[in-house]
Amino acid sequence: MIKKILIMNLTRMGDLIQSTPLIEGLHKKYPQAHITMMVSSDFADFTRRIPHINEIVVFNLRQFNDRAFKGSMSWVEIYRYIEHFLNSLIPHNFDLLVNLSHSKLSALMISYLGIKDVRGFTCDNEGDRKTGHPWMQYFGTEPFNRILNSYNLVDIFTRSGDIIPDGRQVKIQTDASDDALISDEIRRLNIQADDLLIGVQAGSSLEGRRWSSKSFAEMGDLLARDLHAKILLFGVASESRIAQEVVAAMAHKERVVDLTGKTGIPELIAWLKKCQYLITNDTGTMHIAAALGTKIVGLFFAHAHPYETGPYGPGHIIFQARIPCAPCSYAVHCNNIVCIQKVRPQHLCSMITFHRAKGFWKLPEGMDGLDEVNIYETSFDDDCFLRLKPLI
């Protein structure tokens, strides 16, 4: 009987959100089980937003960063930290471990713990990575054959835990206190209940995945002019320059609010709940919006692959360049990212305008410049896999 479950997810915020259907499924399958989540220190606070987690253990290698830069870091000290950290977990006697990371370090850590039932990468006696579950074998080989993949990462995660799919969507916990944090700002900005609020995430962790600031600015002007929308710019403090470029290039500056670097996770959640749409690159913000039910207009360029990490839920749309090299291989550094030039601001504005008027997604008559553009709508098939329906 499964009584204690450990889930290791040492990756990014988006991956944490994408693991929530798996966690919910494990909770329903083993209702008496104690579920522990191992996360990196960067996302410990956010992990408290994930339902059905009984305990969080924090793996903190970041504490060694400052000393590494100063040249005073000791590899022996790091080894001792990892050894002590893992030894503290062994007495828990976990019955099941699901490794949603794919690094060599995570595989070595799991082999050290000696848990019998492991889903995901671990190591054999020679220290080589291995995985036994078919869906995790697929997860390990998919990056080498990306163009052939049609499965979302959420579906791979869920089925690796032998969870019977039932259309579960990604979820995070919200609180009334989130809304209270932005109430003063809403009054100051004179935002009314019937205002059309459209969020924009212009930055992303990888520069090559970003649509240009000029394109975001032109799109913002079109939405402000045609729909009288208010544009809310989101992002972390390091993306402030991008937001400033967008605002500087806009003609309708009075319709844009720059919230870049001014929101923590609670405030971001509160703002996204108020947005009717989020226009975004492939980011963690996109996955938060998907968990909140906000309609997403996703922009997938360079390495970003909509079949892998598209917004998990029905009724979102995704733009991608229809060119032979899209998506890029992770082994490639592109010196001429032409894909971001194929999607035009008018394409997004036309789709949102139609959806706003009709309540469903459809290619409006008269849209041009689509010869090298894919537009998909997300939906679930009869087997509860997320599918991308071509709208062109």
Q: 101-114: per-residue pLDDT in tens?
A: 989 999 999 999 99
**Do 4-160 and 176-390 have matching folds?**
yes
Q: 196-226: per-residue pLDDT in tens?
A: 999 999 998 777 789 999 999 999 999 999 9
Residue 284: CB partners within 8 Å, gap ≥ 6?
12, 13, 14, 17
The amino acid occupying position 62 is: R
Question: Dihedral angle at the C-alpha atoms of 171, 234, 224, 390, nearest 10 degrees?
Answer: -50
Q: 120-133: per-residue pLDDT in tens?
A: 999 998 889 999 89
pLDDT at 336: 85
Domains in the chain: boundaries: 4-160, 176-390
Residue 182: closest CA among 173, 169, 191: 191
pLDDT at 71: 66
List the chain pLDDT tens, one digit each, 392 residues. 899 999 999 998 999 999 999 999 999 999 999 999 999 999 999 999 999 999 999 999 988 886 666 666 788 999 999 999 999 999 999 999 999 998 999 999 999 999 999 999 999 988 899 998 999 999 999 988 888 999 999 999 999 999 987 877 999 999 999 999 999 999 999 999 999 999 999 998 777 789 999 999 999 999 999 999 999 999 999 999 999 999 999 999 999 999 999 999 999 999 999 999 999 999 999 999 999 999 999 999 999 999 999 999 999 999 999 999 899 888 888 888 899 999 999 999 999 999 999 999 999 998 999 999 999 999 999 999 999 999 99
Bond prior to 31 in cis (omega within 30° of 0): no
pLDDT > 70 in the chain, percent: 98
Residue 85: closest CA among 60, 64, 106: 60
DSSP assignment of 294-323 equals -EEEEEE-TT--HHHHS-SSTT-EEEEE-S
Distance of CA 358 to the CA centre of its chain: 28
Alpha carbon distance 294, 272 (integer Å): 7
pLDDT at 242: 96
pLDDT at 333: 82
pLDDT at 39: 97
4-160 CATH pick, 3.40.50.2000, 3.40.720.10, 3.40.640.10, 1.10.287.90: 3.40.50.2000
* Backbone phi, psi, residue 239, to 5°: -100, 10
CATH class of 176-390: alpha beta
- Helical H runs in 142-264? 153-160, 176-188, 213-227, 240-249
pLDDT at 356: 98
